[in-house]
Amino acid sequence: MLDKMNELDSLFTSKNSEDVLEFYSRFNTVDDLLNYSRNRTYNKPRIFEKDGDKDVVAVIPTRDHNGEFAKSFCDIFKGFHIIMAESGNDPYFNYTKNTNLAVEKAVSYDPKWIIVSNDDMYGIDDPAVLRQGLLRLDNGKIDNVWISPEPEHHHCRNVYLVRKRAALGALRKLQGGYLQKRQKILDRFGVDYFLMYSPSKPYYFPFVKYLKTFLNTEDFFVLSGKYTHSLHSSGKEVYDEIYINANEDNWLSLNLGTERSSYIDFKIGSKIGSSYGLTESAEARRIIGTIFFDQMLKKSRLVKT
């Protein structure tokens, strides 16, 4: 059993996209994939902290707490209490588990607000603007705070939930290559729902049905300390740890909604993909997140199936 898991891990973490695509052929059902995800290799990260004011705590997952990205983030948010979950050489760079562990540590300080961020950010506005804006809000009535949407960055942007039409398979076959291979995997696991990150385009109308638009947290957002404490008190986490570096933010955002949300005009930049990568093999690893998102959506009441 251990040898089989090691083989699956080796395929999934390969830098060769063909190996990652081969990984999916080793499973017959979504439940098989879910079992793999629940039992996959996990190196518990080390927690490092930069002491600061604990009314607003910032948490980041990072490969190296002394690395370029983490140091830059700490410089930007100097004066804030910062918690870093360092994954080291963990091949998964396990974003959900690492972030949840850092958030759990943050909750222990009873902060008013918790910033959840990637480490590969760069400064635009003075973080004092964010702190002042947050401390003017009632963290008992607001669960999450969106910041200024930036088209070139990955936070607070619109995501489009769609359902595939039968003609999508014909489009992917015409496109060929990786897109066709990806679609075959999604079809094999019965995926009907997925997400699009660009505005709706007329030529997609025959291939997908647009269901709803929602704001996505992605690489930088803020949670109320009271809301996060209530999650932990009920045995829940911020991120569902079934996800492996794909779609955990979409699932969180879809469930957060807008009823108990607020907005602050604060801008920060993102070096998109610097921590995890934008290679074809990284994209192939994200397929598992699409499969899980579809499965969980069908079990929820968020859409009519």
pLDDT of 30-53, one tens digit each?
999 999 998 887 778 899 999 999
What confidence score (pLDDT) does residue 229 get? 95
Confidence band of 119 (pLDDT split at 50, 70, 90): very high
Assess whether 124 and 87 both reside in one domain. Answer: yes
Q: Nearest-CA neighbor of 245 among 109, 74, 61, 106?
A: 61
Q: Provide the domain count of the chain.
A: 2
Residues 182 and 61 in one domain: no
- Mean pLDDT along residues 222-248: 92
- Asked if residue 286 has pLDDT above 90, the reply is yes
Both tokens of 253, joined, read: 């955002």
Considering the domain architecture, whether residues 106 and 233 belong to the same structural domain is answered as yes
Give residue-wise pLDDT tens across range 167-180.
988 889 888 999 99
Q: Is residue 221 part of a domain?
A: yes
pLDDT at 216: 85
- What is the b/e burial string over 148-164, where b = at least 16 CB atoms within 10 angstroms of the residue's CB? eebeebbbbbebbbbbb
Do 13 and 53 lie in one domain? The reply is no
Is residue 31 domain-shared with residue 179, that is, in the same domain? yes
Does residue 278 form part of some domain?
Answer: no
Question: In this structure, are 50 and 199 located in the same domain?
Answer: no
Residue at 244 is within a domain:
yes
Is 21 domain-assigned?
A: yes
pLDDT tens column, 120-141: 899 999 999 999 999 999 999 9
- Sequence-ordered list of residues with C-beta below 8 angstroms from that of 87, at least 6 positions apart, any chain: 43, 45, 61, 62, 63, 93, 94, 98
One domain for residues 162 and 28: yes
Query: Looking at residue 219, what is its pLDDT?
Result: 85
- 54 and 176 inside one domain: no
Mean pLDDT computed over every residue of the chain: 88
What pLDDT is recorded for position 202?
59
| pLDDT value of residue 273 | 59
- Residue 8 is assigned to a structural domain of this protein: yes
Confidence of residue 99 (pLDDT cuts 50, 70, 90): very high
What domain range is 144 assigned to? Answer: 46-153+217-272
Beta strand pairing call for 193-196 and 157-164: antiparallel
Q: Please give the pLDDT value at position 109.
A: 97
**Least confident among 75-89, 94-108, 119-133, 190-204:** 190-204
- Domain assignment present for residue 24? The answer is yes
pLDDT exceeds 70 at position 77: yes
Residue 206's pLDDT is 85
Residue-wise pLDDT tens digits, 214-234: 888 878 999 999 999 999 999
Q: Who wins on pLDDT, 230 or 256?
A: 230
Same domain, yes or no, for 89 and 104?
yes
230 in the same domain as 204: no
Alpha-carbon dihedral sign for residues 31, 36, 39, 43: negative
Cα→Cα distances 14→35, 72, 80, 215, Å = 20, 29, 37, 32
**pTM for the whole thing?**
0.90
98 within domain boundaries = yes
pLDDT of residue 245: 86
Q: Do residue 55 and residue 176 come from a single domain?
A: no
* CATH code of the domain covering residue 75: 3.90.550.10
Q: Do 141 and 81 share a structural domain?
A: yes
